[in-house]
Amino acid sequence: MRPELSEYAPSYADYIARVPEEDVLSAIELQSSDTQKLLASLDETHAAFRYAESKWSVKQVIGHVIDAERVFGYRALAISRGETQRLPGFDEKPYTEAAGYDAWKLGDLSEMYALVRRTTIVFFRNLPGEAWTRRGIASDAEVTVNALAYMIVGHERHHVSVLRERYRL
């Protein structure tokens, strides 16, 4: 069920809006297949491309998507299990720089994406019904597990859109 405005911070509204589906699990599964096809269409030269000097390479964008999915996924795990502690935010720029994604082989990034997405799918598929509505605090804002699932899909859709428009993939 689509999250209500009270389930997430306004800063995540764009990601949620990118997911009109009611069945977020199906959206996560379909997106996995689509993104893996996109990655398979690339070679190392395309993966190293930056549309401007100060912008991330394609590899860095993919790495960031993976990092964000892990962070959103951890938040969903913690909150679904009843965590009451505030969960930290994360600054994507230092994360991406520290990862050194430009030195990764494209095949390794593709494999990492597939593995992380697979764990996301299995986690949400087996989540008890009542866990979807649990609330916690992440990045200093209240969020539900349900909203986090939508954020995973919407965040990736945002970045795939950027890859298609600005990187011309």
Angle (CA) 44-40-153 rounded to 5° is 110
- Position 135 confidence tier, pLDDT thresholds 50, 70, 90: very high
**How far apart are the C-alpha atoms of 139 and 123, rounded to whole Å?**
22
The pLDDT, as a whole number, for residue 4 is: 97
Contact 90, 138 (CB under 8 A): no
pLDDT band for position 136 (cuts 50, 70, 90): very high
> What pLDDT is stored for residue 100 in this prediction?
98
Question: What whole-number percentage of the chain has pLDDT above 90?
Answer: 100
| Entry pTM | 0.97
pLDDT in tens, 35-47: 999 999 999 999 9
Q: What is the pLDDT of residues 49-81, one digit of tens each?
A: 999 999 999 999 999 999 999 999 999 999 999
Does the domain spanning 5-47+56-166 belong to CATH 1.20.120.450?
A: yes
pLDDT reported for residue 112: 98
| pLDDT interval class at 102 (50, 70, 90) | very high
Residue with tokens 């539900």: 144
The predicted-structure confidence for 142-168, as pLDDT tens digits, reads as follows 999 999 999 999 999 999 999 999 999
What does the alpha-carbon distance between residue 148 and residue 144 come to, in Å, rounded to a whole number?
6
Say if CB 153 and CB 24 are below 8 A apart: yes
